[in-house]
């Protein structure tokens, strides 16, 4: 066994660089030591300053951040804000990646900063069976990508994003959306922060969906800071 300490920003950037194979979907999640994806109903209660720095780096490396509408509401998402440390990372790209929100119901607040203050316009991904009136209303505020008929086809959604040039893809869940990506065989990489706490209770795991969807993984690296573990896995 070996203990790996966190590296400086340059080394971290190299450690988390996207492969040349594209499109590539990276998932970034946090879990307690006993496997809970939330504490007090939110994932933020499990994180740390180092976890937030890593989240920022992963966003800076990505072309797009894909997230479920439920997670947007629960976690109080705002637009992705650019950081000075991203300047070289994002040469030739927008200063911040856009969010792509996956929503079948389209129950979204288009007056929220997530839409009104986004440096890169927030997109919405839905399906053909979404309510027509909400879809028309959504289209007045942002780009709507239709993927799937009765439910959102997450594989088709990722392909649609790639066709628009968003090939370095990052998803921050939540657990149900991540389960759909796994079931579709589209999760290429998992970055998992293990928080040094036990939460007990009945919180969901980081992947929470129907049926088994086994995906063998290969460990890329392990980093540690203040008892938090930062694991990077890729699909075998």
The pLDDT confidence band at residue 1, using thresholds 50, 70 and 90, is very low
Per the structure, how many domains does the chain have? 1
Residue 2, pLDDT score: 53
**pLDDT at position 117 over 70:** yes
**pLDDT at position 121 over 90:** yes
- Assigned domain for 16 exists: no
Distance in angstroms (rounded) separating the CA atoms of residues 69 and 100: 9
- Assigned domain for 19 exists: no
Helix, coil or strand: residue 221: strand
Residue 200, pLDDT score: 82
- Assigned domain for 229 exists: yes
Distance in angstroms (rounded) separating the CA atoms of residues 138 and 124: 8
The mean pLDDT of 90-95, rounded to a whole number, is: 95
Domain assignment of residue 191, given as a range? 24-34+46-235
* CA 32 from centre of chain: 18
Pairing status of strand 144-146 against strand 123-126 = parallel
The pLDDT confidence band at residue 9, using thresholds 50, 70 and 90, is confident
The pLDDT confidence band at residue 205, using thresholds 50, 70 and 90, is very high
Q: Which two tokens stand for residue 100?
A: 């792509």
- Nearest by Cα to 29 from 168, 139, 190, 142: 190
Mean pLDDT across the chain, nearest whole number?
92
Distance in angstroms (rounded) separating the CA atoms of residues 112 and 88: 30
**pLDDT at position 144 over 80:** yes
CA angle (37 as vertex; 32, 39 as ends), nearest 5: 75
- Assigned domain for 190 exists: yes
- Assigned domain for 15 exists: no
- Assigned domain for 17 exists: no
CATH assignment of the domain containing 140: 3.40.430.10
Cβ contact 149:3 at 8 Å:
no
The pLDDT confidence band at residue 45, using thresholds 50, 70 and 90, is confident
Distance in angstroms (rounded) separating the CA atoms of residues 5 and 11: 12
């Amino acid at each position: 066994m070996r203990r790996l300490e966190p590296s400086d920003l340059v080394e971290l950037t190299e450690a988390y660089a996207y492969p040349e194979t594209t499109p590539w979907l990276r998932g970034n999640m946090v879990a307690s030591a006993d496997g809970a994806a939330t504490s007090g109903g939110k994932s933020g209660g499990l994180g740390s300053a180092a976890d937030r720095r890593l989240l920022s780096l992963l966003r800076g490396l990505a072309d797009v951040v894909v997230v479920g509408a439920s997670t947007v509401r629960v976690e109080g998402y705002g637009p992705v804000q650019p950081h000075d440390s991203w300047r070289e990372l994002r040469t030739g790209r927008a200063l911040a990646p856009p969010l792509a929100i996956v929503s079948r119901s389209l129950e979204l607040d288009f007056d929220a900063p997530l839409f009104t203050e986004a440096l890169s316009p927030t997109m919405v991904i839905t399906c053909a069976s979404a309510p027509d009136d909400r879809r028309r209303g959504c289209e007045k505020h942002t780009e709507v990508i239709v993927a799937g008929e009765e439910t959102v086809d997450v594989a088709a959604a990722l392909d649609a994003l790639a066709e628009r040039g968003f090939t370095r893809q990052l998803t921050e869940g939540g657990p149900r959306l991540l389960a759909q990506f796994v079931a579709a065989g589209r999760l290429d990489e998992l970055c998992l922060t293990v928080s040094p706490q036990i939460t007990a209770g009945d919180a969901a795991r980081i992947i929470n969906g129907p049926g088994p969807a086994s995906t063998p993984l290969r460990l890329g690296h392990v980093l540690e800071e203040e008892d938090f573990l930062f694991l990077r896995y890729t699909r075998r």
